[in-house]
Amino acid sequence: MTLSSLYISLVSAALLVMSAGCGGEAATGGGRATTAGSRDTYANFADLAAHEQEGRDFTVTVADRGAPDSVFAFHGGHIDSGTEKIAAAVAGRDWNSYVLVGSSYRQHVTSANFDDPRLLDLAKRSQRCVAIHGHKSDTPRICVGGSNEAVRTRVAQSLSGAGLPFEVLTHCEGLDGLMPTNPANMCHEGVQLEFSGAARSQLYADPGLMDRTARAIRGAVDGVTRP
């Protein structure tokens, strides 16, 4: 073997090793968790609470009004920006609510692993519930999920028929929220709503649109059309 051919062989081998290393890092590196939560910083709420201080690093507000309907937003603040505002609009003055407002995306705990006892207790006592989430997309859309197909269909139809400027989908890869440990699936009738970044931006900029969207959700969930 000549020196030049030996050099080429060594370079090729080095590149092969580097490629393998990069592939492994890409598979296990940072980024947002989707279904399994394997990329979350914290395994569950207990893990989050053990490493970050409630009241300083994040806040939790529970409003138990004794209502049959509840709304959850446990990725508020800098986790899924502004989802707490949508939850407040849906809750109004008469629904129960659980809202966590975070100071950093590292506080994201995927829905199937989010096990704050205060939330789980409220979910299990609720006849109907809505979980509000956010995802990154430049398309103004709402992904309607949850394991209760009848409620999912009813809410999707209500949103689609409300004249809202959003695409409404009943299947979005990684966002369907079907796990039984998802708080939205612990109510008797629950639904998960994933609002894209584009949809959230429109809602924040237009209070009237926020109100119409909240009314469409409430009307579909509790079966009452409100004036």
Residue-wise pLDDT for 100-144, tens only, equals 999 999 999 999 999 999 999 999 999 999 999 999 999 999 999
Residue 50 to residues 32, 42, 61, 87, 101: CA-CA distances in angstroms? 21, 10, 18, 26, 17
How many other β-carbons are positioned within 10 Å of the β-carbon of residue 68?
A: 15
Paired tokens of 140: 């103004």
pLDDT at 95 over 90: yes
Integer Cα distance of 79 and 103 in angstroms: 7
Integer Cα distance of 75 and 132 in angstroms: 8
Amino acid in the structure at residue 226: R
Phi, psi of 186 (to 5 degrees): -95, -15
pLDDT at 28 over 70: no
Largest CA distance in the chain: 86
The length of the chain is 227
The partner residues of 71 in beta bridges, in order of sequence, read: 97, 130
pLDDT at 36 over 70: no
Q: How far is CA 40 from the centre of its chain?
A: 13
pTM reported for the whole predicted model = 0.81
**Residue in 225, 163, 165, 221 with CA at minimum distance from that of residue 193:** 221
- Burial of 49 (C-beta count, 10 Å sphere; 0-12/13-18/19+): middle
Q: Domain locations in the chain?
A: 1-30, 45-222
Confidence of residue 19 (pLDDT cuts 50, 70, 90): very low
**Residue in 2, 226, 18, 32 with CA at minimum distance from that of residue 133:** 32
Residue-wise pLDDT for 132-185, tens only, equals 999 999 999 999 999 999 899 999 999 999 999 999 999 888 888 889 999 999
Amino acid in the structure at residue 55: G
Superfamily of domain 45-222: Poly-gamma-glutamate hydrolase, zinc-binding motif (3.40.630.100)
Contact between 184 and 191 under an 8 Å Cβ cutoff? The reply is yes
